[in-house]
């Protein structure tokens, strides 16, 4: 009798003491911690496989906000001179980013194939920062499955598919806007673009980017995850273009 109840009695005593339950809770807690520690972008089974993604995000940076923030951090660096020290820029291309429905790939080839200086220079009208161009190729372009020329041709095509609203093309003084108003202006200017396909991004006080989701063949499409990261502020400012 004593032998037959030995194992059951042991479990019962452990339950009463809390040690077994504590062990189970530790296992559950560890599993939850591991799930939380793995970033969303690492969940996709195709993670970082070149050419294996679902859609693109075209990110358009409001250049005056970027340059104003750089000045506040201690001044314009040498690498920022092209964008912030020369001709006035308004919306510039930050990047064209391959995305999964949940998360995104990055640095899909290490080391990345070398980007020619001539190709970099040819993109300065859209992306006026050499360091940005090199970084975007290394981090995002290598995930597109395209060669470097094909990737930057895709950037140019994506940018050409988006019309900047007239009210943002020649901003001569600081403009206070709501994120919803910026979205609405882009939607009016771009037939086929919907609220589900665009997100406005901001910092503490300024509009920083407009992100537009596009299919792999560069048509507008909805993107729930990008929308969830949109600016939640009531109003933000848009500094004027340089010289404004």
How much is the pLDDT for 12? 38
How much is the pLDDT for 25? 47
Q: Is residue 50 part of a domain?
A: no
How much is the pLDDT for 231? 95
Placement of tokens 């005593």 in the chain = 13
The CATH code of the domain that includes 213 is 3.90.730.10
200 & 123 share domain? yes
Query: Which tens digits make up the pLDDT trace of 21-30?
Result: 455 445 445 4
**pTM given for the model:** 0.80
- Residue 107 CB: number of other CB atoms within 10 A? 13
How much is the pLDDT for 97? 98
Is the Cβ–Cβ distance between 209 and 60 less than 8 Å?
yes
- Residue 224 CB: number of other CB atoms within 10 A? 10
115 & 25 share domain? no
97 & 210 share domain? yes
Q: Is residue 49 part of a domain?
A: no
89 & 140 share domain? yes
96 & 11 share domain? no
32 & 69 share domain? no
103 & 176 share domain? yes
Tokens of 16: 């009463």
Q: Is residue 46 part of a domain?
A: no
Q: Is residue 62 part of a domain?
A: yes
Q: How many CA atoms lie within 13 A of 122 on its CB side?
A: 12
Q: Is residue 219 part of a domain?
A: yes
Which residue positions in the chain have pLDDT lower than 70? 1-43, 243-244
80 & 27 share domain? no
Q: Is residue 44 part of a domain?
A: no
20 & 61 share domain? no
Q: Is residue 43 part of a domain?
A: no
Q: Nearest-CA neighbor of 60 among 233, 222, 199, 239?
A: 199
107 & 15 share domain? no
Q: Is residue 22 part of a domain?
A: yes
Residue-number span of the structural domain to which 23 is assigned: 6-37
16 & 90 share domain? no
21 & 112 share domain? no
How much is the pLDDT for 229? 86
How much is the pLDDT for 83? 87
Is the Cβ–Cβ distance between 61 and 94 less than 8 Å?
yes
Quote the number of domains for the chain: 2
Query: Which tens digits make up the pLDDT trace of 139-182?
Result: 999 999 999 999 999 999 999 999 999 999 889 999 999 999 99
Is the Cβ–Cβ distance between 59 and 223 less than 8 Å?
no
């Amino acid at each position: 009798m004593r032998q037959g109840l030995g194992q059951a009695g042991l479990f019962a005593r452990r339950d009463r003491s809390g040690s077994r339950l504590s062990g189970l809770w530790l296992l559950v807690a560890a599993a939850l911690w591991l799930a939380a520690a793995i970033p969303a972008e690492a969940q996709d089974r195709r993670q970082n496989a070149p050419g294996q993604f679902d859609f693109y995000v075209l990110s358009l940076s409001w250049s005056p906000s970027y340059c104003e923030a750089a000045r506040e951090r201690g001044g314009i660096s040498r690498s920022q001179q092209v964008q912030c020290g020369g001709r006035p820029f308004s919306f510039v291309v930050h990047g064209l980013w391959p995305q999964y429905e949940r998360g995104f790939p990055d640095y899909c080839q290490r080391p990345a194939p070398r980007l020619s200086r001539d190709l970099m220079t040819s993109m300065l009208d859209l992306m006026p920062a050499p360091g940005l161009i090199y970084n975007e190729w290394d981090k995002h372009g290598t995930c597109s499955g395209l060669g470097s020329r094909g990737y930057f041709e895709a950037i140019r095509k994506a940018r050409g598919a988006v019309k900047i609203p007239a009210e943002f093309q020649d901003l001569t003084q600081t403009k206070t806007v709501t994120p919803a108003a910026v979205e609405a202006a882009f939607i009016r200017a771009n037939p086929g673009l919907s609220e589900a396909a665009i997100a406005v991004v901001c910092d503490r006080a300024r509009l920083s980017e407009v992100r537009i989701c596009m299919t792999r063949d560069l048509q507008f499409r909805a993107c729930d995850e990008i929308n969830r990261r949109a600016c939640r502020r009531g109003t933000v400012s848009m500094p004027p273009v340089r010289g404004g």
